[in-house]
Amino acid sequence: MILTVTLNTALDITYRVKALRPHASHRVTDVTERPGGKGLNVARVLAALGHEVTVTGFAGGATGRTLQDQLLGATGISDALVPVSGSTRRTVAVVDSSTGDTTQLNEPGPLVSAEEWTAFQEAYEHLLDSASAVALCGSLPPGVPVGAYATLVRAARTASVPVLLDTSGEPLRRGIAARPDIVKPNADELAELTGSHEPLQAMKDARRRGAHAVVASLGAKGLRALTPDGTWQAPAPDRLEGNPTGAGDSAVAGLLSGYVEHLPWPQRLARAVALSAATVVAPVAGEFDAATYERLVREVRVTDQISAA
Amino acid sequence: MILTVTLNTALDITYRVKALRPHASHRVTDVTERPGGKGLNVARVLAALGHEVTVTGFAGGATGRTLQDQLLGATGISDALVPVSGSTRRTVAVVDSSTGDTTQLNEPGPLVSAEEWTAFQEAYEHLLDSASAVALCGSLPPGVPVGAYATLVRAARTASVPVLLDTSGEPLRRGIAARPDIVKPNADELAELTGSHEPLQAMKDARRRGAHAVVASLGAKGLRALTPDGTWQAPAPDRLEGNPTGAGDSAVAGLLSGYVEHLPWPQRLARAVALSAATVVAPVAGEFDAATYERLVREVRVTDQISAA
């Protein structure tokens, strides 16, 4: 199975309102909620692609119970979340029906104790025994050491399990030094990590810092990959309109599924770009449109050089 | 015991953010949640005044369980909420720390089936047997007939239990025709009911429509009462700064507690005005400041005439 780690899981709530006006009272016309956090999104896409996936991370309190109840209904996903005494955070996305714009409110997440972090590491190392690959995704909840991802990358390497890291800021800086197989930063994360706003230079720097392969998601410019086997770019399809929420997570699922299926890099990148685009155009945030994916994965033209930005 | 009915209970969530900007992403710096809905607020104040209170209405889903878990910790409040298959709604109040202003997002509430509404009525009639008074509070969830409060008022009158109705719109219009002992509209609700923006005229009209006593909450102008025993006005204390959330519910608790303690109307109104003001100045929305209440309840001067608006 593929293991995805989401230390800061969330119950993602979406509210639709007629028009959002600060300091007014609003009747919510539509409510949806689903398990969230980047690693859970990756898991959902991997499961849709036919992979067996196990999710771990933390879950606690009433929102944690709700999240786990909803995971029970998800085909192909095994729940190996570790209990925490605090409450799993909620995120609230308020969609303004008049403009289509979204206002996001993110709770900080539960405070994780040293004992809970230790319990998680033990569970994680046990899960690695049966994992073909692992994705470490998203932010760290309060209480988890900033070097957490470095620790988890090292454990995966010790267990000879390929590891993909998708995070930002100091957790990325620390984690990359532990030599993950793949990192997938976006342009902002790359610039924050390296100080360079020139993607190719920044990607080279990221490899020097420890990543074996760097796949940068550059929004409308698509994906660029700097790997031990070569360099590639996979342009994003033209004229994409929709909601980019979860597009990066779908790209991670594409890369990781291609990795465990031993696809060559160009096919992994084509899959990642097609899944990402199919997520943008899907009517529900974070889902992907299967027909769009099937069409695009054949159309994407991956080239084996990276032009200057 | 005093019975309060909240058909559309809520889990009230308060988020604090640095500054609310539409279409941006916000880190919530502080999260609080508590059982909500007008009848639950009334119950909390009644319990703080030393009364035994039973709460009924509907609770369902994960938010319903959370709400009932939190009620367990509330001293003096018995939980007689009736299960419903849908999920109890959440309300989210987003407080902007830079301005102190609040933006409110209210979920619609669960769809109540005909069977669930019948089960509620049976539970309610059973609870009336041991009730000294009943308050019917707030909006109706989807599926509950618009004449619901008229039905519940009639059942209370049949059981000889004094009944206070605090709602708005068509449920108020239908409910008042069933002759409740007290209605407590605010200025907007009175105008909507009667078409008159002149409070005294509108209150007279509300009595003609069926209410034995009308107590209007007129914001900074305080309370005015038109009753079979006389007419009174109780001015609001000067210079109140704070959060008016729950002030009307505290007034209901003041009126109802005074009623069951057989206080004369002027003392009931003094208590209602003092509780309402003590709720505005309390640091937590919907709580009341006990010291402010004790001081104000002695200072309020209730007069036995109503001047023209």
pLDDT in tens, B112-122: 999 999 999 99
Q: Are B161 and B136 in contact (CB under 8 A)?
A: no
Residue B262 maps to a domain: yes
B134 and B49: one domain? yes
B1 and B97: one domain? yes
pLDDT-derived band of residue A308, with 50, 70 and 90 as boundaries? very low
Residue B122 maps to a domain: yes
pLDDT at A87: 94
With a cut of 80, say whether residue B176 has pLDDT above it: yes
pLDDT-derived band of residue A161, with 50, 70 and 90 as boundaries? very high
- Nearest-Cα distance to chain B for A103, in Å, is 4
Q: Specify which residues A79 forms β-bridges with.
A: A55
Nearest CA in chain B to A65: B62
Q: How many residues does chain A have?
A: 309
Residue B192 maps to a domain: no
Residue A32 contacts B where some CB pair is shorter than 8 Å: no
Residue B24 maps to a domain: no
Residue A239 contacts B where some CB pair is shorter than 8 Å: no
**Mean pLDDT value of segment A216-228:** 92
Instruction: Decide if B103 and A66 are in contact by the 8 Å CB cutoff.
Output: no
**Mean pLDDT value of segment B146-169:** 97
Crossing angle of helices B38-48 and B247-260, rounded to 10°: 50
Among residues B120, B144, B168, the one where a domain terminates is: B144
B1 and B138: one domain? yes
pLDDT at B221: 86
Residue A177 maps to a domain: no
What is the DSSP code (8-state) at residue A303? B
B95 and B233: one domain? no
Q: Are B273 and B222 in contact (CB under 8 A)?
A: yes
Mean pLDDT of chain B: 93
- Nearest-Cα distance to chain A for B19, in Å, is 10
Taking CA A84 as the corner, what is the angle to CA A82 and CA A90, rounded to the nearest 5 degrees? 100
Instruction: Decide if B23 and A107 are in contact by the 8 Å CB cutoff.
Output: no
Among residues B144, B159, B194, the one where a domain terminates is: B144
Residue B85 maps to a domain: yes
Residue A72 or B189, more confident: B189
CATH number of the domain within which A34 lies? 3.40.1190.20
With a cut of 70, say whether residue A307 has pLDDT above it: no
Number of domains in chain A: 1
Is A181 a known active-site residue? Answer: no
B92 and B224: one domain? no
Q: Give the nearest partner residue to B28 out of A20, A69, A107, using CB atoms.
A: A107
Residue B176 maps to a domain: no
Instruction: Decide if B17 and A105 are in contact by the 8 Å CB cutoff.
Output: yes
B132 and B223: one domain? no
Instruction: Decide if A92 and B96 are in contact by the 8 Å CB cutoff.
Output: no
B136 and B15: one domain? yes
pLDDT at B309: 42
Among residues B92, B122, B144, the one where a domain terminates is: B144
With a cut of 50, say whether residue B308 has pLDDT above it: no
pLDDT in tens, A273-296: 999 999 988 877 678 999 999 999
pLDDT-derived band of residue B75, with 50, 70 and 90 as boundaries? confident
Residue A118 contacts B where some CB pair is shorter than 8 Å: no
B222 and B140: one domain? no
The reply to whether ipTM tops 0.90 is: no
Strand, coil or helix: what is A157?
helix
Full residue range of the structural domain in which residue A108 is found: 1-144
With a cut of 80, say whether residue A309 has pLDDT above it: no
Instruction: Decide if A23 and B92 are in contact by the 8 Å CB cutoff.
Output: no
Residue A173 maps to a domain: no
pLDDT in tens, B240-283: 777 777 899 999 999 999 999 999 999 999 999 999 999 988 87
B138 and B222: one domain? no
